[in-house]
Each structure stands twice: as C-alpha cells, then as structure tokens.
Amino acid sequence: MRTRYAPSPTGYMHIGNLRTAIFEYALAKKYQGDFILRIEDTDQARKVEGAIDFIYKTLELCGFKIDEGPLNPGKFGPYMQSERLDLYKKYALELVEKGKAYYCFCTEEELEALRQKCALRNRPFVYDGRCSKLPHEKIEENLKNGVPYVIRQKMPKTGYTIVKDEIYGEIKIDNSILDDQILLKSDGFPTYNFANVIDDHLMAITHVIRGKEYLDQTAKYNLLYEAFDWEKPTYIHVAMVLGEDGTKLSKRNGDASFMDLYDEGFLPEAIVNYLSLLGWSPADNQEVFTMAELINKFDEKRISKSSSQYDVKKIEWFNHQYIKNMDDDVYLNWVKKYFVNPDPTKDEKWVEHLLLIYKNQLNYGKEINTLVQDFFTDNYNPNEECQEFLKSDPIIPEVIKTFKMEIENREWTIENINEAINKTKEKLNVKGKLLYMPIRIATSGIMHGPELADTIYLIGQEKVMARLNK
C-alpha cells in the first residue's frame, strides 16, 4: 500500500486539500504502507518560493510522517516533477513509437479557429486529430526545422471507457467526448494528467485519493494506463469541502486554510480531527480521537459521496476539547503565543493566573484577547441587563455595601475575598445568585465571567475598591 499527496507548490493549503492528505495518510498507515510527497510543479508560472518547506512544516504540524519526498528521497525519486522532465519525454516518445501518440504542430491560432467552429455549432471542443494524419516526411521536416510541437495521445472515437472508483462505483464515459489529450507541452513540460500517470506508476502508488472534480478525467487516465499496458491504481474520489456559506472554498469565505486556522489558535490535532469527520465517519460513534485512533478506525469504504460544509462552530468545539485537556504548563506556553498583553507592567504570575482561569472555556488561541479584555480596562459601565438586575431586589445594595465593609480591611488574597463573600452571606442571610451577582456586577461590571474570587482578585484591590465606593 502506497499513497501520495501531490500538491502544487503554491504556498497555501486549504482545508479540502488537507482533508485529502489526511485520508491518504490514514489509509497508507492503516496498512503499514508508505505516504509519499510529490511536488507537482509543472506550471512554472505558479511556483512559489519556499513552498516545499511550508508543505513539510504543515504536514509535520499535523502529525504526518512523510516516508518519501523531495527532502527525504526514497528509491523512486526525484520527487519534484520539474526534475523528471526527461522521464516524461521518454515515455511520451515511447507512445509515439507505438503509434499511440503523435506529434502535433498546430498553432494557437489554428486551435482557436477550431474552437470557434465548435462553439458555433454549440458542441464541446474536441481536437480533430488532423496532425495524426501528417505524412512521415512532413513530421521529420518540421522536427528538423524546430517547429514547436506538442505530443498528443490518440484516443478512441467510439465506444466508452469504464472508470472504476471505490466510492462511486463504475462510471461509463463516452469516448467521443475525449480529446486527443496533450501529453507533452511545447515547452517540454508534461501536462498534469500525463505526469500524474507516469509518476503514480513509477512511484508504485497503489491508491489514489483525489477530489471528485477528477472523476470524469479518470477515463483519460485509464486510457493512458492501457496504452502503456500498466496496472491501474485503485481510485478513491472524494466529494468537495464547501465553505460555511455552502459555496466553493475560497479565500473569501472565511478562514479556510490550515495556516489561517493555525494562526487563529486552532490546534493541528483538533483541525485534523475535525477535518477527518468531513465526508467520512467511523463505524462507531467516537468523534474525538487521536491520529493513531484515526488510522485504526479509517475505512475508505465509509467516505461519503456528497460534499460537506465547513462549520466554524464545530471546529471550535473540537479545539475547545483539546484545549481543556492540555496540562496547565503546556496550555500557558501555547496560549501566550496568541495573547497580546495590553499592559506589560502586570507581573507574570498575574498574567498566568488570568490566562489559566479561561482555560476551560477558550475556543481558540486569539479568543483569549477578547475574553480577558475586561481586566485591562478602567471603564466601569454595566449594561442594561446588569442595571435591571441591580434593581431587582431591595437587598442588593445591602449586599454590595456589606461586602465592601468586609473586604475593606483585609489583606488582598483569594482566601480573604472568599471569606468576605461568606461573611456577607451570613450577615444578610442571602445566598446563590442574590449573593454573588450583586458583588460580581459591582466589582467587574459584567454578569458573565470566570470564578468570582479570582476575578475580583485579578481586577485588583485599587480598582475594586474604587468601584465599590461609587
């Protein structure tokens, strides 16, 4: 069992690509197979500097081990398509030799004319194969004169080709719509389809997992495998991942790339966990699981046929689960990367205490900044809901007054704050919400917050007393 992840080096990995990689990885590892990274850089224009390091880094963060790739080659290298050009040429020529492919000297203009003709008749464009009828001498002459050419594969004009897919079953594609596909471009680079087939075969890939948008094209792949008389890999096409709005993923509809999520403070484990459940589900009911468990549970037969929508709320929930389960010191180290301290004069212990009391309600790293903001402001303006509450019972002003008296002359510790609350309770014989909420509002100005004693302690003596004296 060998699977591969074959991205283009664009320096960007959206969630759909990552999800495909997760499936590829899980499948390979389930059967103790190898996971190969191949860089598809045949489009010179779209190449991005440093993209390979970026891909390695991303996969590493996600917990993937790359068995073979450009930075750790195995015996099937090179793993960059741009370094395999002679290979593609060799195989393209082999097909020409066998009479299964031919040189095509058609110019851009000729093709455009052809295209127009098809458009006029409202038919899909199919190359008419005129160059396949060129006499031998003419071809030789053109080649000698350096006329630019591409190599095209001869496709059958009748009948149909069956595409076999693990998820979608058998699909019949009419051969008449198949173009004599270009194998080698005039710049000497292979087309994506051609390079894919050559590489998958030479790299002994057994299972190809890819987006459903390639399903129709697989007929062309099959014809290529047949032309070479090679064994086809098992195909597993997966439906798309859509954005939150139900449309195709793009930079426009939200933080749809791995790095965006990572930068927001989503843990790679949580991201992987969540994505594995998009378009796939395990036979049992477990949702939160480790990579090892995923590998163990993974079953490619259970991949869904229909596309699924990305949901921020749910990925937040997953992230929340992982954050809650972190050890305190690990959590602090992690959350500090996202925390922007508005007041550097606060000492480290105070900051850590503050960060810690939000650990079990934090959804993602950067959220910490909005959660803690009330601890960094001098503004005290309780909202309407607070005002309503304060007026809801005559005892409330008493509670606040009593608490103030109790805390006034004590040393500023959490124990003493709790003690003051308790004394208030005893003196006035109030408890529950009527006891806590007035104090909470009077000291912090908000109705929702972390543990009350911690909150009061962290707001600080000076500020609290000032508010109580109002």
Q: Over the Cα atoms of the chain, what is R_g?
A: 32
What letters, b where the CB count within 10 A reaches 16 and e where it falls short, cover 207-220?
bbbbebebbebbbb
Judged by CB, which is closer to RNA: 75, or 448?
448
Judged by CB, which is closer to RNA: 361, or 387?
361
Judged by CB, which is closer to RNA: 230, or 436?
436
Contact 294, 274 (CB under 8 A): no
DSSP state of 80: B
- In whole angstroms, the minimum distance from the beta carbon of 251 to RNA comes to 15
Backbone dihedral angles phi then psi of residue 32, each to the nearest 5 degrees: 55, 35
Marked catalytic residue, from 164, 251, 314, 324 = 251
Give the three-class secondary structure for 462.
helix
Q: State the amino acid at position 438 in one-letter form.
A: P
Whole-number Å distance between alpha carbons of 59 and 37: 10
* Class of residue 301 by CB neighbours under 10 A (exposed 0-12, middle 13-18, buried 19+): exposed
- In whole angstroms, the minimum distance from the beta carbon of 32 to RNA comes to 25
- In whole angstroms, the minimum distance from the beta carbon of 236 to RNA comes to 13
* Class of residue 431 by CB neighbours under 10 A (exposed 0-12, middle 13-18, buried 19+): exposed
- In whole angstroms, the minimum distance from the beta carbon of 131 to RNA comes to 10
Contact 82, 42 (CB under 8 A): yes
- In whole angstroms, the minimum distance from the beta carbon of 447 to RNA comes to 6
Whole-number Å distance between alpha carbons of 321 and 334: 15
Judged by CB, which is closer to RNA: 404, or 425?
425
- In whole angstroms, the minimum distance from the beta carbon of 133 to RNA comes to 17
Judged by CB, which is closer to RNA: 66, or 303?
303
470 is catalytic: no
- In whole angstroms, the minimum distance from the beta carbon of 465 to RNA comes to 19
Give the three-class secondary structure for 209.
strand
- In whole angstroms, the minimum distance from the beta carbon of 445 to RNA comes to 13
Judged by CB, which is closer to RNA: 105, or 262?
105
Whole-number Å distance between alpha carbons of 63 and 65: 7
Whole-number Å distance between alpha carbons of 352 and 393: 37
Q: State the amino acid at position 139 in one-letter form.
A: I
Judged by CB, which is closer to RNA: 46, or 57?
46
Whole-number Å distance between alpha carbons of 170 and 163: 6
The pair of structure tokens assigned to 360 is 């079990």
Whole-number Å distance between alpha carbons of 73 and 387: 67
Count other Cβ atoms within 10 Å, centred on residue 94.
Answer: 13
Judged by CB, which is closer to RNA: 359, or 401?
359
- Using alpha carbons, list the distances in angstroms from residue 426 to 182, 359, 410: 87, 32, 17
Q: Which residues are catalytic?
A: 251
